Structure 1
Amino acid sequence: MGTRRTSLPGVGTQYDFITEEGRHISVVVHHDGRRFLGFYASEDPDACQLEVPLSSDEATALAHLIDPAPIDAVRTDGIDLVTEHIPVGARSPYSGRLLGETAARTRTGASIVAVLRRTGAHPSPGPDFRLTTGDTLVAVGTREGVDALADIIAGG
């Protein structure tokens, strides 16, 4: 099982997911909140067999079916805010480094509000918090800011 995240300039972000059985599922998240599910042929991972467009409400309903407690987007004063989990992978340039070295808020406008680690959650981590491979950052910001932060953490 593996996932890959790809920034689509001017469009949004594509998330590719490979199941344990080798099935390829793709989710494209547009900047305006629209989502598309893509299902690919196992014998040809580039051949999309079916694409299903989802409105934001439909995507939320589907997420609730898969995970009864997903983190939803928050809308405040006409500004769309999203909350997203961002993994710190083995290839991240920030694994083993201090959170402050990411300069996340300055570079993207997104805030890291917690770090989830196997040993527990660390809410409101300070700049001296050391990130490790396997951590999951809980980030809040605009879609563009959170996407930019995910690219930075991934080393993109």
Structure 2
Amino acid sequence: MNIREIDLPGIGKKFQLIARDGSKLVLVVHDDGRRECYHFDSAVAEESLSMVTLDDDEARLVAGILGGMTYKPKALETMEMALDELILEWYRVDPDSGCVGRTIGELNVRQRCGVTIIALIEKHNAARHINPGPEVALTADCTLVVAGERRQQKLFKSILKNGCE
């Protein structure tokens, strides 16, 4: 799935998602908590097929349903058992984090907490680093995809915040 994030000053954020079937979903998250969902039949369509507005509580309920909190398809149960304790997390690096400007090697992530950074996406230029090496530096507002167990993920959050301290 292709996802594009756009800041909407004074409004919130807009997310454009292109599904594998070519359809487009646009989500606008307003600063007041409202969410607008637009569905297009193709990535280039100008006119939406449908639109739904959700308040914050409704949006969280829908997110839980989509995320599998209320029902988990049988195929995913099998996958979860195979992965057991492995958790994939997405982290946005705050500009004031102690890790900004440090390389993965300098932070010694794998040795300090046991997680593996499997992807890094830079916000300023949308550069994607899949399986980044120790020479890759963390930048402000980049997104990290990290694999590890729950306790390892907790340790990693501390490294993100404090850097090498």
Q: Give the TM-score range, shorter chain.
A: 0.5 to 0.7
Cα distance change on mapping 1:54 and 1:47 into 2, 3 Å: same
In the alignment, residue 163 of structure 2 is paired with which amino acid? P
Which structure 1 segments of 5+ residues have no match? 70-83, 105-114, 130-156
Of the candidates 119, 134, 146, which is equivalent to residue 117 of structure 1?
Answer: 146
1:127 equivalent in structure 2? 163
Alignment partners' CA distance in 2, 1:37 and 1:94: 27
Question: Looking at CA atoms only, which structure, 1 or 2, has the larger radius of gyration?
Answer: 2
Runs of 4+ in structure 1 off by over 6 angstroms are: none
Report deviation, 1:88.
Answer: 3.3
Alignment partners' CA distance in 1, 2:163 and 2:55: 37
Alignment partners' CA distance in 2, 1:93 and 1:41: 28
Deviates more, 1:41-50 or 1:8-17: 41-50
Structure in which a larger fraction of residues adopt helix: 2
Which structure 2 segments of 5+ residues have no match? 70-89, 93-118, 130-135
1:59 equivalent in structure 2? 59
The answer to whether 1:89 aligns with 2:118 is: no
2:22 equivalent in structure 1? 22
Does the Cα contact within 8 Å between 2:23 and 2:43 map onto a contact in 1? no
Report deviation, 1:85.
Answer: 4.4
Structure in which a larger fraction of residues adopt strand: 1
CA RMSD of aligned residues (A): 3.2
* TM-score normalised over the length of structure 1: 0.54
